[in-house]
A and B are shown apart, each in its own frame.
Chain A
Amino acid sequence: MALGRMSRIRPLSTVSTVFIEVVRSIPVLVILFLVYYSLGQIGIKLTGMAAAIVGLGAFYATLYAEVFRAGILGVDNGQREAAIALGLSHRDVLRKIILPEAFFSILPNATNQLSNLIKDTSLVFTIGVADLMFQAQSASAVTFEPMDMFLLAGVIYFLFYLILSKVLARWELNVQRSRS
């Protein structure tokens, strides 16, 4: 999709751009509901799990498209010019110069989005269990003791987050150091 948006083929780039911008502007939860309920009503019935995978998948695909685009555009134009001046083909420039260079600027954003994705899996219960919670809530019959459950979930999510942000950050640093 990132390549699509930057493509020189006009319709392709326009469609990719519009799609990315639209999906990016809609909250994840609304996307999940659209996939689960709205598609369901026009006959595409998905299980909660399938809807979650499709919804989150579509949403994060577009976010990743943006991450890649930013990374590719971020490569110093001098690199591009130098490669073209050396007579590399358009495709080789992209494959051998731009993408490897971009990889390192993309890495932090990519891991960042990954940790967002993990957090957003917490929304999935809204298209399965949510109705229960919603009803319980609107009847204001909150009698359960949820704190323990929250604490456990919180610890697990936070560990995931720390591993992703800290450990990967260190790995990135090492990769960068070994290159310079």
Chain B
Amino acid sequence: MSNEVVVKVRGVTKRFGDRVIFENISLDVHKSEVVAIIGPSGVGKSTFIRCINHLHSFDEGTIDVQGFRLVGGQSPSKAELQALHNSVGMVFQTFNLFPHLTVLDNIVLAPMQVKKQARQQAIDRAMHLLAMVGLQNRANTFPKRLSGGEQQRVAICRALAMEPEIMLFDEPTSMLDPELVGDVLEFIQRLARTGMTMVLVTHEMMFAKEVADTVVVMADHGIAEMGPAREVLESPRTERARSFLRRVLNPVGSPREPNLVANGGDDR
């Protein structure tokens, strides 16, 4: 992690209609830093990281990414967006692979169309990426034939094929069966070790503690607490962060109320 700030968020506010999702968020992401964003469902974690690559616009504040500036309430030019998307890759909770294209075509599409790479060059790079995750022999398969874990690894390869400077992950493992989570997290961890800058929304606390440099806890329309991963996760300073962590680390209920029967334990 260096001192160079590659994502600078200042005073960002986002509303859907009249509803404020978050207010006045500020945050720095340094080169090669791994930032994990945690917080309860519905606080706006997904919305926030989608603001970074302008999948969502925002209403107030500024976000500087790699020297490009997004300003609240203004729409950037096509060329600016193009440059932004070239340097920021994104991985989605639901993978969002293109179902009508093979694994290989999913990966080579953007390099060929956007970066005008020759097909052979794009294929070489794609096969190299697939080999890294042990999927080189599935290159000509359609996504639906892969397991969720395999699909997500392909989705990461697809984003990496554009050689981004920054990677955004929105709960990359929360749609996966438990036994498939490991492979995906392991790949993300390897990526972190190569020095990739990453902003990652996750519910995997152990993973965040191990891989992230910084943890951001979102609650009540803003950032409740932010700091070095171990500190925030092991000894949170604010009550809101404490109560959130208590709930996720001890989901079954407090010892005084043993939750022996599954009576409405699922309170989503």
A and B touch in the complex (CB under 8 A): no
